[in-house]
Structure 1
Amino acid sequence: MLNRLTDALNFHGDALALRSQRQQLLASNIANVDTPNYQARELDFKTALRDATAQPGAGAAGRGAMLATSSRGHITAGPALASTAGLAGDRFLYARPAQTNLDGNTVDMDRERASFADNAVKYEASLRFINGNVRTMLDAIKGQS
């Protein structure tokens, strides 16, 4: 019984960490919209979550890989992204440009804004699932007293 509860929390915890990582990646793309030759990045969320939940002990601790930039002038994703990059492994992909730009930048602001908003909603849903699981456990504990 306890394993089922911790498995559910671990799943949602991994999903939350990946959603946070994707949000930072999207923010990095938006921040680099005017950077020449910047290649927009994306996270294969479905595959990264499947891999994270399949690996025993792949929780938030012990993740240390860093997301590489394609040029020294690019804005980095920051230390929070670096701490969770190991969860996604090599699931960072280059986004396909909708149209070519003279400066070589592949950031599509419409796509990035839509992805950012969609990911924010899904991040909030993951928080609500975790909150609901914790409330259910607390209610079960209180009910047995």
Structure 2
Amino acid sequence: MAISFEKAFGIYPQSLQIRAQRAELIAGNIANADTPGYKAKGMDFKAALEQASSKQQTGMTRTNEKHFDVRMELNNGVGFRVPDQADTGDGNSVDVQVERNLYLENSMQYQASLQFLNGSIKGLRKAITGGQ
């Protein structure tokens, strides 16, 4: 009997990929905190995850190694964040404290997704080896 890894792992691989993209986005905001005119970017995680799950359910597969893997293009959901603070005069909308908190929250959620995925892998390994 064949094991469907997409069913076994669920949405966790896509969740990890989106969390990694979100971490890069937040890190970019922090890095540009002193750049005049820089606008903080944010990601709608729910929309990106829904997009990823809908692409997963379409059953699209790569039939040739030269084809683009469209399931990996998760750039939708990225936009500019509405600033919580008044303009400081240089046009920069990054609030470093908010960005650090978002980065920490995203990191914890990434770790949780990773633990769920590891649990799924351990369960599959146990099923394959018979619990040895």
Report the TM-score when normalising by structure 1.
0.75
- Cα gap change, 1:40/1:140 in structure 2, threshold over 3 Å: closer, same or farther? same
Q: Report how many residues are paired.
A: 122
Asked whether the 8 Å contact 1:41–1:95 carries over to 2, the reply is yes
Report the identity percentage.
36
Correspondent of 1:135 among 122, 125, 130: 122
Asked whether the 8 Å contact 1:43–1:92 carries over to 2, the reply is yes
Is 1:43–2:43 an aligned residue pair? yes
Q: What is the root-mean-square deviation of aligned Cα atoms in Å?
A: 2.5
Give the whole-Å Cα distance in 1 for the aligned partners of 2:32 and 2:93: 10
Residue 71 (structure 1) aligns with: none
Residue 69 (structure 1) aligns with: none
Residue 69 (structure 2) aligns with: 62
User: Structure 2 unaligned runs (5+)?
Assistant: 62-67
Q: CA deviation at 1:8?
A: 4.1
Give the 4+ runs in structure 1 shifted more than 4 A: none
Give the whole-Å Cα distance in 1 for the aligned partners of 2:78 and 2:70: 15
Residue 104 (structure 2) aligns with: 117
Write the letter of the residue equivalent to 1:2: I
Residue 2 (structure 1) aligns with: 3
Q: CA deviation at 1:11?
A: 1.3
Asked whether the 8 Å contact 1:52–1:88 carries over to 2, the reply is no
Give the whole-Å Cα distance in 2 for the aligned partners of 1:128 and 1:34: 36
Write the letter of the residue equivalent to 1:7: K
Give the whole-Å Cα distance in 1 for the aligned partners of 2:9 and 2:123: 12
Residue 78 (structure 1) aligns with: none
Residue 65 (structure 2) aligns with: none
Q: How does 1:21-100 map to 2 (within 5 A)?
A: 21-55=21-55, 56=58, 57=60, 62=69, 86-89=73-76, 91-99=77-85, 100=87
Write the letter of the residue equivalent to 1:49: L
Q: Compare CA radii of gyration and give the structure with the larger one.
A: 2
Q: CA deviation at 1:131?
A: 0.6
